[in-house]
Structures are given as C-alpha cells and as structure tokens.
C-alpha cells in the first residue's frame, strides 16, 4: 500500500466530511467548511474558516532559498524530544473526537488512538493524544494507546476542571508517557460544551498548579501571542505549541506562521517551541523550523492517514513527511536541524 492508496481509501470513508483534496487549505468552498451557517464543525474550521485558511496562507507566502552548490550530503532529520531521540522533528498532533465522523464506518476512537500512537512510533516519532467529550477518567483511549506503545506518547487534556486534569496527568505518568499538557485554546471547543463537559479559561495560577502536580514535562498548546507565551513560561511549562487549533476555536485569527517569529523572538531558548497549522509536507515543516519552531505537529493529515489505513497509514504519512523534509533540507543546503536559520527563507 502506498500513501496515495491510503488517501484514496480515506476519500471513500470520509465522504461528505472531507474531500481529501490535494491541497487542504480550508477554503470556504471546500466540503468541510459548512460551519458558518450551522453545519457541524467536522474536520473544518470555525465560522468562516478564515483561521484555518490563514494557516495555509501564512506558510504559502514564505519561500525557500535554493542552495545546491557544495559537497553532497544526506540531511540528518533527527530530533531530541525530552530525552528521546526521534527520527524527525514532526509529530502526530493531539486530535480527538473522530468517532463523531461516522463511528465504525469511518474509524472508532480507540482504533484512531492506536493508529496515531503506534503508527508514529513505527516511523520513529511520537503520536500525541487529544481529548474529547467521549473521553473520561474511565475511558482513557489515548492513555491506553500510549501504554500499548510503552509510554511512547504525549497526552493533552482539555482545560477541564483542575482536579480532572491532574488525575489524567497521573494516569499518563503511570504508563510512562513522555509528556503531558493542556490545550488552553480548547476552552473554545464546541463538542465539549454541547455534551455538557465543562471546560474553562485557565489562569497562570491554574497552570502553575497543574505543572507542579506532575513529574512529567508539561506542554501548553494553543498559544498565539507573546503575552501568552510568556505566561506559559511563568507557569513553568516545558514547551508551548503555537497553534490556533487548526482554526477550529476562534474565527479570524492570523495564521500560526504569522505569529511564530514574534513569539520566537521573545522566548527562544527558554522553553521548547512547537508549532502547527497547515503543515502538509516537509517543505512546510522546514518553513516553520526556519521561523524558529523546534518541531511541528500534523493534524488533519493524521486523521486522513488513520482513517485510510490505521497504523500503516499513519506510518506512511510520517515517512512521507520525513522524506520531504530531508529533500527540502538538502536543496537548501542544511545538513542538520541545528543548521536551519531564517536565512534559508527568501
Ligand atoms: C478533527 C480535529 C480534532 C481535534 N481535536 C483536538 C484535541 O482533542 N486536542 C487538541 O489539542 N487539538 C485538537 N485538534 C487540533 C490539532 O491538534 C492541531 O492543532 C491542528 O489540527 C493542526 O492543524 P492542521 O490540521 O492544519 O494540521 C483537532 C483538530 C482536528 C482537525
């Protein structure tokens, strides 16, 4: 099976939900973009979809400087993530709630979690697990999948009640997860509100409390400004993810690659900086790294890969990303991640 086969299969299964287009850009004419006048959010962006589309545009307007004269080399994409050596600075994002796309005709949540975590592990990288209204302290599919992978995963908990977050973190600790975190922008989640699962805006004090509650590194996901990046540092977080949740929580935000440079200028070197939103291939990855991200996450393409062919689909998707990143690095003259600087952008 090849990645095009996986995507073909995903196109069949996601009929009416996602067109599995060659370019996934959140344009308002796309199948997924029906939210503005009341259709479910599905895999699309909130409201007009402009935040989703801006992620795409922010990457599209960046250009890579080709540099091909010099010694030949194969680029080294290895990345160190909280003491683990990964094959690439690219991980599977904390996506959840795909069971609402059609249950077993598409993919069940338990299988989705296994596909992301085990597929990423097979590709030498890490699958993150998210949180949705069907997850509870009794129903911890994400953490179960991380346990099956001997701890090789990251668990992100929605900004629920403090006590619940801390209990999820403890469960992740027990299975030896690499890190935990919360998607602070998840306080804008439609699904949680609809199913009466309370979620909250979190104060710096709240974040400090959850950081102190665990021995694992804590990641704050959903940062779109320097002020909030500094708040995450103040709270003692080990990493942030510059993210607008794939454009799913607030209409009319800038693209993540638009705000990444100012956040990097403020906190680079203090804590790890990850970014996501519209990253579809290694060329996009290289652009994010050139702007100062340490690593990136992949959202919608992981959904399509898991729906198309489970663990194998995710592995093929991640291998494609690694291959295209290595190609992009070679063609811009950078041998390792340490050599990537903003100079490789035109
Ligand atoms: C269907 C779907 C469900 C998601 N669920 C979660 C979640 O439970 N927790 C979370 O932190 N982010 C969630 N996200 C956001 C992703 O982690 C990621 O930030 C985003 O998808 C990146 O953008 P991309 O899809 O363009 O790659 C979800 C995204 C999608 C598309």
pLDDT in tens, 269-303: 999 999 999 999 999 999 999 999 999 999 999 99
pTM of the model: 0.98
Distance, first Cα to last Cα, the chain:
37
Superfamily of domain 79-344: Aldolase class I (3.20.20.70)
25 lines ligand 1 (CB under 6 A): no
Q: What is the largest CA-CA distance in the chain?
A: 60
246 lines ligand 1 (CB under 6 A): yes
Closest-CA residue to 35 (of 26, 46, 27): 46
Whole-number pLDDT of residue 296: 99
Determine the length of the chain: 346
Task: Report the residue among 248, 295, 303, 307 best suited for mutation to probe ligand 1: largest number of ligand atoms under 8 A from its CB.
Answer: 248
- Classify residue 255 by burial, with Cβ atoms within 10 Å: 0-12, 13-18, 19+: buried
CB within 8 A of 255, min separation 6: which ones?
A: 51, 54, 55, 56, 57, 58, 59, 244, 277, 278
> Is the Cβ–Cβ distance between 163 and 135 less than 8 Å?
no
Low-confidence ranges of the chain (pLDDT < 50): none
Whole-number pLDDT of residue 45: 96
What does the alpha-carbon distance between residue 138 and residue 171 come to, in Å, rounded to a whole number?
11
Helix 3-13 to helix 300-332 angle (10° resolution) is 150
Whole-number pLDDT of residue 201: 97
Whole-number pLDDT of residue 103: 87
**95 C-alpha to center of ligand 1: Å?**
4
Whole-number pLDDT of residue 38: 83
Structure tokens at 44: 């699309």
Domain ranges of the chain: 79-344
Helix (H, G, I), strand (E, B) or coil at 183: strand
Helix (H, G, I), strand (E, B) or coil at 85: strand
**331 C-alpha to center of ligand 1: Å?**
30
Closest-CA residue to 54 (of 285, 257, 254): 254
Could you tell me where the DSSP H helices lie in the chain? Answer: 3-13, 50-60, 109-122, 141-148, 162-174, 190-194, 204-212, 226-235, 256-267, 282-290, 300-332
What does the alpha-carbon distance between residue 286 and residue 41 come to, in Å, rounded to a whole number?
29
> Is the Cβ–Cβ distance between 89 and 77 less than 8 Å?
yes
Task: Report the residue among 127, 295, 299, 306 best suited for mutation to probe ligand 1: largest number of ligand atoms under 8 A from its CB.
Answer: 299
Whole-number pLDDT of residue 140: 94
What does the alpha-carbon distance between residue 24 and residue 306 come to, in Å, rounded to a whole number?
16
188 lines ligand 1 (CB under 6 A): no
The neighbouring-strand residues paired with 329 are none
């Amino acid at each position: 099976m090849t990645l095009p086969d996986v995507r073909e299969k995903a196109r069949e299964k996601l009929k009416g939900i996602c067109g599995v287009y060659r370019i996934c850009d959140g344009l308002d004419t796309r199948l997924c973009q029906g939210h503005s006048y009341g259709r479910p959010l599905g895999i699309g962006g909130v409201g007009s979809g402009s935040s989703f589309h801006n992620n795409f545009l922010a990457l599209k307007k960046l250009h890579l400087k080709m540099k091909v004269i010099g010694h030949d080399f194969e680029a080294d994409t290895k990345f160190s993530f909280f003491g683990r050596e990964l094959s690439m600075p690219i991980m599977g994002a904390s996506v959840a709630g795909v069971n609402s796309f059609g249950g077993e005709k598409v993919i069940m949540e338990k299988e989705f979690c296994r596909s992301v975590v085990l597929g990423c592990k097979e590709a030498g990288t890490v699958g993150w697990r998210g949180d949705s209204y069907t997850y509870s302290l009794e129903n911890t599919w994400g953490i179960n999948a991380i346990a099956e992978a001997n701890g090789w995963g990251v668990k992100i908990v929605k900004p629920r009640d403090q006590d619940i977050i801390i209990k999820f973190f403890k469960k992740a600790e027990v299975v030896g997860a690499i890190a935990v975190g919360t998607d602070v922008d998840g306080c804008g989640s439609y699904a949680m509100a609809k199913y009466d699962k309370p979620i909250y805006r979190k104060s710096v004090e709240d974040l400090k409390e959850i950081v102190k509650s665990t021995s694992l590194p804590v990641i704050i996901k959903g940062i779109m400004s320097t002020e909030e990046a500094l708040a995450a540092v103040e709270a003692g977080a080990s990493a942030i993810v510059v993210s607008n949740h794939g454009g799913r929580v607030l209409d009319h935000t800038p693209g993540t690659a638009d705000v990444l440079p100012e956040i990097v200028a403020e906190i680079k070197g203090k804590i790890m900086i990850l970014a996501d939103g519209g990253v579809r291939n290694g060329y996009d990855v290289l652009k994010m790294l050139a702007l100062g991200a340490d690593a990136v996450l992949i959202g919608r393409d992981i959904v399509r890969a898991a729906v198309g062919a489970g663990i194998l689909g995710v592995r093929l998707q991640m291998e494609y990303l690694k291959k295209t990143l290595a190609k992009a690095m070679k063609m811009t003259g950078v041998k390792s991640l340490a050599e990537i600087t903003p100079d490789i952008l035109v």
